[in-house]
Chains A and B, each alone.
Chain A
Amino acid sequence: MTDLRDLDELLRAQEGDAGCDAGVPIMDQYVEIELRGEDPSERFPGTAIHLRVCPGCRADHDGVLEAARRFGDLDPE
């Protein structure tokens, strides 16, 4: 079974994957849903699938989430 799991992981290509470009305009909204403790996959199911598979987009997502958490919300005044 371990071998099959390895192959399943190697060839993971899930139906409904929105791809890389779809996540760019909504990444900030996606992250804010997470920061509210809600599940972004309900509103953005295709991007949720994509972020589980694409390491490049996952790294960008993690960076935006980390920046929003660490540097928080600022007021210009």
Chain B
Amino acid sequence: MAIGRAARRRLTIQLVSVGRPQAEARPHRPVRGDTASRRWVEQLHAGHPRHEVAAAKLHDVLQRAAIHELHRRPGQLAALRGPELDDVAQQCADDAMMKILARIDHFEGRSRFTTWAYKFVIFEVSNKVARHAWQHHPPSAEELEWDQLPDTLAAKPGDQAERREQLATLTKAIEHDLTPRQREVFVAIALNDVAIDVLALQLGSNRNAIYKNLFDAKRKLRACLAAAGHPITSDERAHP
């Protein structure tokens, strides 16, 4: 369908309006929080005379926080160094900044504004680190598929009979009592140390859903052990 010049202009104006925080979007209620937090919220609204200065100052500290966080998580970013790392930090700060400006009226003053803002940039770092790790080192088939208990857990020649029975029960429960998804998640995370966010990306899921799968799998395995007479804790002995 052809769009006329006037319609295109209206569409462009609408997109610009949606994309940019509005002066009219200033909260009707009073801004809450301490003095510095109130200043941040007021000045980050488009139309405020100090908007550009405040936005630049916030972006700067978000980028420094992102760089620090990326260095704090070296394990999953082995291949990233120098300019590449700085580029990822800049992306994290940019994306966090967009989300903060879009949600500025949701700030309720329950924490300092800056702590609230740091949360956004740390979550961005977390997401980008996980995606980088997944793209460069996705979990292998061996890490996702059930085979046997790892050597650190497997029964050893000197183990007592009770321990051997306990591990045999655990093995049987992993094979027969977990759902396929619970087994896949338990094997990857609990037995093979796959990072939860990397597994979530691999399975097209999210951290919360994968955690729930893992939680349910562990509860089920504990219950199976207790029901078979091999409780792990004294509480499970008392209340099987």
Does the CB pair B69–A56 fall under 8 Å?
no
Nearest A residue (CB) for B68 = A70
Report whether A19 and B126 are in contact in the complex, using a CB–CB cutoff of 8 Å: no
Inter-chain contact A66/B163, CB cutoff 8 Å: no
Q: Please report the C-alpha to C-alpha distance between residue A4 and residue B211 in the assembled complex, in whole angstroms.
A: 23
A19 touches B232 (CB 8 A): no
Please report the C-alpha to C-alpha distance between residue A7 and residue B159 in the assembled complex, in whole angstroms. 15
Q: Are B65 and A71 in contact (CB under 8 A)?
A: yes
Q: Are the CB atoms of A31 and B61 closer together than 8 Å?
A: no
Residue ID in chain A nearest B51 by CB atoms: A76
CB contact between B61 and one of A19, A59, A66, A74 (< 8 Å): that residue: A74
Would you give the shortest CB distance from B37 to chain A, in whole angstroms?
9
How many chain-A residues does the 8 Å CB contact rule pick out?
A: 39
Q: With contacts A32-B112, A73-B36, A73-B112 known, is A66 near B53, CB below 8 A? A: no
Chain A CB within 10 Å, residue with most, of B53, B121, B122: B122
Query: Quick check: is B73 within 8 A (CB to CB) of the other chain?
Result: yes
Chain B residue numbers with a CB within 8 Å of A70 are 65, 68
Contact A29 B126 (CB under 8 A): no
Q: Among B114, B115, B197, find the residue whose CB has the most chain A CB atoms closer than 10 A.
A: B115
Residues of A within 8 A of B190 (CB): 10-11
Tell me the residues in window 17-56 of chain A with beta carbons closer than 8 Å to chain B beta carbons.
17, 19-21, 24, 27-29, 31-32, 54-56
Is B178 engaged at the interface, CB distance under 8 Å to the other chain?
Answer: no
How far apart sit A32 and B212, CA to CA, in the bound complex (Å)?
27
A-contact bits for B218-235, CB 8 A (1 contact / 0 none): 110110010000001100
- CB of A68 within 8 A of CB of B196, answer no
Chain A residues with CB under 8 Å of chain B are: 3-4, 6-8, 10-13, 17, 19-21, 24, 27-29, 31-32, 54-57, 59-60, 62-64, 66-68, 70-77
Can you give 12 contacting A-B residue pairs, CB < 8 Å?
Answer: A6-B152, A13-B222, A21-B208, A56-B207, A57-B207, A60-B123, A66-B72, A67-B65, A73-B36, A76-B36, A76-B40, A76-B53
